[in-house]
Amino acid sequence: MMTPVVRVAWGGLLLIAPGAVLAVTIRSDPAFLGTARAVLRVLGARHLVQAGVELTAPRPAVLAVAAVVDGLHAASGLAYGALDPRWRRSALLDAAVAAGFCLSTVRSARHHRPEPS
């Protein structure tokens, strides 16, 4: 059940201090940073909501949907990184984190399967 705890930390960081994440990942025109901060805050809120759902309803079906959401998030990050070189580093970091959450959530879903009768 470690994934939701890590997700809360990551989501909180994105929501509260998106500039700290951007400082590590981007070297671009500061005019773009306002939009980037807003996007990171939205992603942070998504992670917090998802962590709440995973903590309150850690059933296999819920965790499977959560893993699919993370997989789609990772795929969109890879696509965006391929399409826009200015954001490549940030998009690839985001995709890697989302892929990590996806794999961890799949693992959690397997551990929450009911025993066969």
Q: Whole-model pTM above 0.75?
A: yes
Question: Residue 85: which pLDDT band, with cuts at 50, 70 and 90?
Answer: confident
Per-residue model confidence as pLDDT tens digits over 66-76: 999 999 999 99
Residue 80 has what pLDDT? Answer: 92
- What is the per-residue pLDDT for 47? 96
Angle between helix 60-83 and 88-111 (nearest 10): 160
Q: Using CA atoms, how far apart are residues 61 and 95, in angstroms rounded to an integer?
A: 23
**Long-range contacts formed by 99-105: CB under 8 A, 24+ apart:** 99/70, 99/71, 99/74, 101/3, 101/6, 101/7, 101/70, 102/67, 102/70, 102/71, 102/73, 102/74, 104/2, 104/3, 104/6, 105/3, 105/54, 105/63, 105/66, 105/67, 105/70
38-63 pLDDT tens trace: 999 999 999 999 999 999 998 999 99
Task: Please give the angle made by the CA atoms of 53, 7 and 20, to the nearest 5 degrees.
Answer: 135
Task: Tell me the average pLDDT across 10-21.
Answer: 93
| Residue of higher predicted confidence among 111 and 74 | 74
For the chain, what are the domain ranges? 2-111
